[in-house]
């Protein structure tokens, strides 16, 4: 083999090696792009799932609000029943006092009656003696009447005899009559009091039944409220867990997406020029029921106004499809290098596409009210390695 031929073979070999190297490189780059596409598709899917869960959480929140209203209503009813119970207890207590008082009156009256009866008996003895004396004196009529009567009262009612009774006996009979009338009166009073006691006791039994019913109502209401609260807690805990799970999957995807180079953007540019008002700040809001992952920027006639890139970078995600009333609506994520990205939510129009390089201040979208939004505004987030952070550490107004 001559030298020239050897050289030619060497050259071909080198060229062949070089071209193979190039093919290999191209193959590696294609594989990387495919990986990134798959990751993006997965991210989009997860973002959709997250939006869906967020919507579910909103629905749960609405249910909680409704349940709270229902709970407030139930608590108001319970308070009313508690008031009724208190009043019924007071009524029962009054009835008990009345019964005790009546029983005291009855006892006093009965004592009085017993005393009167003693007096009557004593006077009757005196009267009988006088009658006997009268008989001894020869007047048989009186004794006959006396013995013929079943009782002293009966004897006294025999009106015709009064004329036959001696004047000095009349006073004694009057006294006896008076005493008997008093005893009758006392007995009538005692009977009336006893009837009142019986009525009060019947009242009390009815009140006790009412009270037991009221106590049962309150008890079942307390159980209903406890069940309601347990339901809400279980539901909320379930959704919270799902949200956390999706968030962590999003975190993983973000981590797998290469953030190019270091962050050199410095302080970020205000994303809605001419609109410095923040209508909802970063952090807990709605009485600690919702954690706001960004800031809302709004103002008069803000709808359709330009949204600019807060720093230079590459568009890594554009969400073009959305469900009205759910999630961030149409939104964009821009990677700024060093793991730092920004998110622009609820836009009316997206003016960039995935993979596009943008410069700080370039218009990327227009302000809108897509997704879960109550009015035109920009929801702006800063994320570090996919995790939202307080944007005030990067922004300047």
Binding residues (CB under 5 A) for Zn ion: these are 296, 379
Burial label for 271, CB within 10 Å (0-12, 13-18, 19+), is: buried
Residue closer to Zn ion (CB basis): 145 or 278 = 278
For residue 366, the Cα-to-chain-centroid distance in whole angstroms is 41
Residues 6+ apart with CB under 8 A from 394: 267, 268, 310, 340, 382
322: region left, alpha or beta (phi > 0 left; psi from -120 to 50 alpha): beta
At closest approach, how far in Å is the CB of 379 from Zn ion? 3
Residue closer to Zn ion (CB basis): 193 or 296 = 296
Longest dimension (CA), the chain: 195
At closest approach, how far in Å is the CB of 211 from Zn ion? 53
Residue closer to Zn ion (CB basis): 24 or 276 = 276
First to last CA, the chain: 77
At closest approach, how far in Å is the CB of 378 from Zn ion? 8
Beta strands in 91-132 (DSSP E): none
- Closest residue by Cα to residue 289 from 88, 57, 103: 57
The residue number with the shortest CB distance to Zn ion is 379
Torsion from C-alpha of 20, 21, 26, 28, nearest 10 degrees: 120
Residue closer to Zn ion (CB basis): 131 or 297 = 297
User: What token pair was written down for 188?
Assistant: 């009538």
At closest approach, how far in Å is the CB of 293 from Zn ion? 7
Residue closer to Zn ion (CB basis): 51 or 296 = 296
At closest approach, how far in Å is the CB of 269 from Zn ion? 19
Q: How far is CA 157 from each of CA 40, 152, 161, rounded to the nearest angstrom?
A: 120, 9, 9
Buried b (16+ CB within 10 A) or exposed e, 196-220: bbeebeebbeebeeebeebeeebee
For residue 165, the surrounding DSSP H or E stretch is none
User: What token pair was written down for 365?
Assistant: 């979208």
Residue closer to Zn ion (CB basis): 54 or 296 = 296
Residue closer to Zn ion (CB basis): 252 or 292 = 292
At closest approach, how far in Å is the CB of 387 from Zn ion? 17
Residue closer to Zn ion (CB basis): 27 or 392 = 392
CA distance 23 to 15: 12
At closest approach, how far in Å is the CB of 294 from Zn ion? 5
* Residue 260 CB neighbours (<10 A): 13
At closest approach, how far in Å is the CB of 53 from Zn ion? 17
């Amino acid at each position: 083999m001559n030298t020239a031929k050897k050289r030619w073979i060497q050259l071909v070999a080198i060229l062949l090696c070089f071209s193979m190297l190039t093919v290999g490189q191209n193959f590696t780059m294609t594989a990387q792009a495919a990986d990134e596409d798959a990751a993006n598709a997965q991210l989009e899917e997860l973002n959709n799932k997250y939006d869906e869960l967020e919507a579910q959480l909103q629905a749960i929140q609405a249910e909680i609000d409704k349940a709270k209203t229902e709970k407030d209503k139930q608590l108001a009813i319970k308070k009313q029943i508690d008031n009724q119970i208190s009043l019924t207890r007071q009524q029962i207590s009054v009835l008990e006092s009345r019964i005790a008082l009546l029983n005291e009156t009855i006892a006093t009256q009965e004592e009085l009656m017993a005393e009167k009866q003693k007096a009557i008996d004593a006077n009757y003895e005196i009267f009988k003696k006088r009658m006997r004396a009268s008989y001894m004196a020869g007047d048989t009529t009186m004794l006959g009447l006396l013995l013929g009567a079943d009782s002293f009262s009966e004897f006294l009612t025999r009106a015709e005899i009064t004329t036959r009774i001696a004047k000095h006996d009349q006073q004694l009979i009057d006294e006896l009559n008076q005493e008997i009338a008093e005893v009758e009166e006392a007995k009538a009073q005692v009977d009336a009091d006893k009837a009142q006691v019986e009525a009060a006791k019947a009242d009390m039994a009815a009140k006790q039944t009412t009270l037991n019913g009221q106590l049962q109502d309150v008890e079942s209401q307390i159980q209903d409220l406890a069940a309601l609260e347990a339901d809400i807690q279980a539901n909320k805990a379930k959704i919270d867990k799902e949200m956390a799970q999706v968030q962590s999957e999003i975190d993983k995807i973000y981590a797998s997406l290469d953030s190019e180079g270091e962050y050199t953007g410095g302080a970020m540019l205000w994303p809605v020029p001419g609109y410095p008002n923040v209508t909802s700040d970063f952090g807990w809001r709605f009485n600690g029921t919702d954690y706001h992952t960004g800031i809302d920027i709004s103002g008069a006639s803000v709808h359709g106004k330009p949204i600019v890139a807060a720093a230079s970078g590459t568009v890594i995600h554009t969400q073009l499809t959305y469900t009205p009333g759910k999630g961030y609506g149409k939104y964009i994520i821009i990677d700024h290098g060093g793991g730092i990205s920004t998110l622009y939510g609820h836009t009316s129009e997206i003016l960039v596409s995935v993979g596009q390089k943008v410069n700080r201040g370039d218009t990327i979208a227009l302000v809108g009210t897509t997704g879960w939004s109550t009015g035109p505004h920009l929801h702006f987030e800063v994320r570090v390695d996919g995790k939202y952070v307080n944007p005030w550490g990067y922004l300047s107004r």
